[in-house]
A and B are shown apart, each in its own frame.
Chain A
Amino acid sequence: MKRISGLFLALLVLAVVVLADSALSITGAGATFPYPMYSKWFDEYHKKNSNLSINYQSIGSGGGIKQVTEGTVDFGASDGPMNDEQLKAYADKHGSGILHFPTVMGAVVPFYNIPGVTAELNFTPEALAGIYLGKITKWNDPAIAGANKGVSLPANDIVVVHRAEGSGTTFCWTDYLSKVSEEWKTKVGKGGSVNWPVGLGGKGSEGVTGTVKNTPNSIGYVELTYAESNKIPYGNVKNSAGVFVKASLSAVSAAAAGAAKDMPDDFRVSITDAPGKASYPISTFTWLLIPQKFTDTAKRDAIKGFVRWALADGQGYAESLSYAKLPKEVVAKELKAIDKIQ
């Protein structure tokens, strides 16, 4: 009995070791915003390159930045670009820089679960800031009802939902609120992880979507695809030109139009509250954070190959998942920037 179990154990250990590293495995982590897109991409890319698996864990943009800086993952992903401090921290730790590569664009939508209300609500910037500051507490508040004549809103308490962890989606949302609300800017500020005045915390875009889906009278903010694929109604937001715009791929592209022409070399740019009648005001790029220097050449080449594919064939998957394709100018610029990865 003992001998058999010992033999079995030895075989198991052997099998485990033998299966070791027969394929190249790359690990990335970060934003949940583009996760549906990335999981599709990595799955498709794996089908095309069966001995390469890119394992992406959606832990939030904050996690992506931190883990790529610690060096525990090979690349990161974030919808909030790394700020100068974070870039410096990376450079100090690694002795070389980290590059941003936009992959797709998306929209952050205010989505809600109000019993009896299926209409698309109109949200003014004041309404959104007021709700998230905790000053507007009921759905039938004039600040909301005023923009939605014809919809009967109940007198229920609003359940505010936000992200529990560091998030690029949060960065985009708070970036927008800071631009449209002076009170928000001074009281809360913009960042991946803020001191929320009110609300429940959901883990990841998935957690926020789950919470809103299951909690009546709730409102949350999340990437468009999560609201759409779960068939949760989301509202139109009034942009800087005074038009209530529904989040759509064309509206996001309109928001990015100006940035596309003036894209900085490091690709870090904010497109919230963009000018233009058709622009959706809470749009954002999402970036892959790729180290400039790789010690493992196999990984470096694999990642470079993937980025090239993502900028070409990969863009074809974006629209069906409710992400906007990158503007042509940006793609061209990025293809040149790939060579910076050593």
Chain B
Amino acid sequence: MNSRLRWRKFVSGFMLTMTGVCAMVSVSVLFFILGYLLYHGGTSISWNFFTKLPAPVGETGGGMANAIVGSGKLLLLATLFGVPIGFFGAIYLAEFGGGPIAFVVRYAADLLNGVPSIVIGIFAYALAVLPFKHFSTLAGGFALGLMMIPITLRSTEEFLRAVPRALREGAMALGASKWKTIVSVIVPAAYRGILTAILLAFARVAGETAPLLFTAFGNRFWSPGLNQPTASLPAMIYNYAISPYDDWHRQAWAAGLVLLGLILVINILARGILSRGISVSRS
């Protein structure tokens, strides 16, 4: 009796320690990745990296200035395309929607969210590249924007719904029409959550490579305007990592560090905004 109990207690202690080990292993992976990138990327980051264009194959001294700007343009386009659709769509769902239409919209958004990014790339290639006969920043922005829509939509809807009824009813009692209520009361009340949603969607697509392979394509020079192919950080990392040139490997590390740094900072910022108190309590 006693020995059985001792065995069970031992098993209990052992297994629970193992779960702790699992947790530690999982978390330490993150620190390993960060550390490795910091070490290899940190030693490779140079002034050249940020200011120079890529050098011809095999020559050193090139940089990723055009990729950084390219990524910036792509993400800006993605945000301009994806966020309004997600935002206004969410307003519809939270404020006007109901019944079958809302269900269909939500279902479609979840479907879109689960689509693998390479398939989004195929879709954007067929829709935004082939008919126009060129690769472009716009096509890349379109592909990334598509990926931002579902995240923005669902999260914004959640935060809009979380605004307490009291606020809505108060506004209505004062004679405000529905849209005025939305604009001046509900959205400002939920703005922290909405901002978080946008930031998280942004961080999600900032690192996406696959959809850009067939849309933004790539560019060794500056990409003027929006109708030309453009370089982007993730695509450069991919191309340089599988190449045999050490200089390119170093640049890939540096780019990885910059990209990951950006994404982590946005994530931490987003969570910080949210944790500083959602504008209204979610009771």
Interface residues of A (CB under 8 A from B): 12-13, 16-17, 19-23, 25, 27, 29, 35-36, 39-40, 42-43, 46, 53, 55-57, 70-73, 202-204, 206-207, 209-210, 213, 226, 229-230, 321
Contact = CB atoms under 8 A, between A and B. Distances in A.
Given A35-B57, A39-B56, A55-B219, A203 B242 contact: yes
B242 A204 contact: yes
Contacts of A226: 244
Contacts of B229: 27, 55, 57
Contacts of A207: 242-243
A27 to B, nearest CB: 6
Given A43-B56, A73-B135, A204-B242, 11 more contacts: A21-B227, A25-B224, A55-B220, A55-B221, A55-B228, A57-B220, A70-B130, A72-B129, A210-B243, A213-B244, A321-B58
A310 to B, nearest CB: 14
Interface string B214-249: 000111111111111100000000010011110000
B56 A71 contact: no
Nearest to B76: A12
17 contacts: A12-B76, A16-B76, A16-B225, A20-B226, A21-B225, A25-B224, A27-B217, A29-B217, A39-B57, A53-B222, A57-B229, A72-B134, A73-B135, A206-B239, A210-B242, A213-B244, A321-B58
A209 B240 CA distance: 12
B76 A40 contact: no
Given A40-B57, A207-B242, A25 B223 contact: yes
Given A21-B225, A36-B58, A16 B135 contact: no
A298 to B, nearest CB: 14
Interface string B243-278: 111000000000000000000000000000000000
Contacts of B228: 25, 27, 55
Given A55-B219, A55-B221, A209 B58 contact: no
A320 to B, nearest CB: 11
A229 B76 CA distance: 39
A204 B220 CA distance: 17
B73 interface: yes
B272 to A, nearest CB: 16
A22 B245 CA distance: 33
A111 to B, nearest CB: 11
A53 B219 CA distance: 10
B55 interface: yes
B6 interface: no
Contact of B221 (A53, A204, A213): A53
Contacts of B4: none
A66 B201 CA distance: 34
B133 interface: yes
B224 A22 contact: yes
Nearest to A20: B225
A321 B57 CA distance: 10
Interface in B119-138: 129-130, 133-135
Nearest to B238: A203
Contact of A20 (B58, B133, B224, B244): B224
A16 B129 contact: no
Contacts of B73: 16
Contact of A72 (B57, B135, B221, B244): B135
B130 A72 contact: yes
Contacts of B58: 36, 229, 321
A64 B225 CA distance: 24
Contacts of A70: 130, 133
A306 B113 CA distance: 45
A27 B134 contact: yes
Cβ-closest 4 pairs across A and B: A20-B225, A53-B221, A209-B244, A206-B243
Contact of B220 (A12, A20, A39): A39
